[in-house]
Amino acid sequence: MRFKSVKGMQDILPEAEPYWRQVTATVQDTARRFGFEQISTPVLESTALFSRGVGEDTDIVSKEMYTFTDRAREGEQGESLTLRPEFTAGVMRAYIEHGMSSLPQPQKLYSVGPLFRREKPQKGRYRQLHQFNAEIIGSADPVADFEILLLSYSIYMELGLKNLRFQINSTGDPDCKPKYVAALKEYLAPYADKLAPTDRDRLQRNPLRVLDSKERETLPYLENAPHIIDYLNDDCRNHFHELLGYLDAAGIAYSINHRLVRGLDYYTKTVFELWGEGLGAQAALCGGGRYDGLVELLGGSPTPGVGFATGLERIIMSMQDAGIQPATLERPDYFIAYHGEAAKREAVKLITTLRMAGVGARVAFGGRSLKAQLKDADRMRCRYVLIIGEDELAGHTVALRDLSKSEQSSLPMDQVVNALKQRGHMAECEKRVD
């Protein structure tokens, strides 16, 4: 029996490491420059946190969660647990649980890690995905929304991604949103039978979601749908225009997208996505918005918040599509080869000393001939081989061979570490051409 990875879940192989390093370092360094600090919450949370915080009627909660009942203690019922499908609910839970509202506000927090959604796998859509997520908790100021948009924008610019445009909308607040929902329902009611079946269902359960439908049957009826920004109350309208003013001032491109509502229930006021070129239907590099009611919904005191999340796989795909090469990674440039058992013991001693001194090196494995070891060194693209043979053993020396020039010199064993430290001991990984 041969095992395969679970459907929709991918292995990230060593060849992808340069991309992952670059992307994870860039998101974290940029966030720190903006004054964000990292918070890491558990991958498992109580199921109720998501059904409450994300919303029962959302696709994520109603069909995409990996949920199981934990083993129960005798006489008790097992707790229902879920692999986190998004970060925000867990971060809010931690904010409340650790009394972070008594710290200076707003709290600017970021997280990076895996999430799990049982979606239909396709290009750019996986069941285990990785996100970078950032939140500003405790400020209702549109400048906080702007900071979140600017952070996402800065990350992609830093990575060399261009041709990006924000899609932006406001979903109002509990005062004005219901008025719009009623107007939308009234507008769509005469066409209900003609909508795609999923949208007919959404029209009953979560009418706003019909707006971002991708179903061909539904699209014609959305063209003349009322716009939510025409229903905003003064507070929400002012908030929206202030944010747009900041984007204009910063010269950041955006389009007001009347059909953008985002899939999660908790959004209030601002919602946005950043679209890149070349990702087809999966064009959204990131998405986010404001969620002023969420902390209260999860049992905390009323606290505004705004955040966004970006998929790391999507960023990497965009970099690859745009031909952006990640920085090369270092690899050990030295390889220790030996001849005979006594020399092998010396080699082990030498590799230990080198590693303790922070010098990057590999040592030969297996009792292969010296010739085979040199071949291995070349295959592993180590430029220098430190050879311990019988002569070296007797003379307490090491032969240093430069494979690129076929030159060889001799070093006293007790001077090897210093000599290598002076030469620089790690090479940049070149792209492997086999």
Q: Is 284 in the site for ligand AMP (CB under 6 A)?
A: yes
Q: Is 339 in the site for ligand AMP (CB under 6 A)?
A: no
Interface region with ligand AMP, contact rule CB under 6 A, candidates 123-131, 150-158, 320-328, 333-341: 123-131
Q: Is 129 in the site for ligand AMP (CB under 6 A)?
A: yes
Please identify, using beta-carbon distances, which residue of 310 and 373 lies nearer to ligand AMP. 310
Distance CA 128, CA 118 (A): 8
Are the beta carbons of 135 and 108 closer than 8 angstroms? Answer: yes
Distance CA 376, CA 387 (A): 13
Are the beta carbons of 378 and 403 closer than 8 angstroms? Answer: yes
Residue in 416, 17, 58, 89 with CA at minimum distance from that of residue 262: 58
Residue in 183, 272, 167 with CA at minimum distance from that of residue 225: 183
Least distance in angstroms from the C-beta of 131 to ligand AMP: 5
Phi-psi label, residue 317: left if phi above 0, alpha if psi -120 to 50, beta otherwise: alpha
Least distance in angstroms from the C-beta of 294 to ligand AMP: 14
**Could you give the C-alpha distances from 421 to 88, 92, 111, 333, in angstroms and in order?**
46, 48, 37, 12
Q: Is 125 in the site for ligand AMP (CB under 6 A)?
A: yes
Are the beta carbons of 87 and 111 closer than 8 angstroms? Answer: yes
What H or E segment, with its residue span, contains residue 146?
helix 142-158
Interface region with ligand AMP, contact rule CB under 6 A, candidates 51-59, 177-185, 203-211, 307-315: 307-315
Q: Is 19 in the site for ligand AMP (CB under 6 A)?
A: no
Q: Is 239 in the site for ligand AMP (CB under 6 A)?
A: no
Distance CA 35, CA 23 (A): 18
Least distance in angstroms from the C-beta of 374 to ligand AMP: 44
Give me the 242-281 binding string for ligand AMP, x by CB under 6 A, dash otherwise: ---------------------x------------------
Select the residue whose beta carbon is closest to ligand AMP and give its number: 311
Burial class of residue 320 (count of CB atoms within 10 Å of its CB; 0-12, 13-18, 19+): middle
β-sheet bridge partners, residue 402: 384, 407
Other CB atoms within a 10 A radius of the CB of residue 88 amount to 24
Site for ligand AMP in 131-150 (CB under 6 A): 131
Q: Is 304 in the site for ligand AMP (CB under 6 A)?
A: no
Which of 79, 119, 215, 217 is the binder for ligand AMP (CB under 6 A)?
119
Interface region with ligand AMP, contact rule CB under 6 A, candidates 120-128, 168-176, 338-346, 410-418: 120-128
Give me the 62-101 binding string for ligand AMP, x by CB under 6 A, dash otherwise: ------------------------x---------------
Least distance in angstroms from the C-beta of 373 to ligand AMP: 43
Q: How many residues of this chain interact with ligand AMP, rule: CB under 6 A?
A: 18
**Which spans of this chain sit near ligand AMP (rule: CB under 6 A)?**
86, 117, 119, 124-126, 129, 131, 263, 284-287, 309-311, 313-314
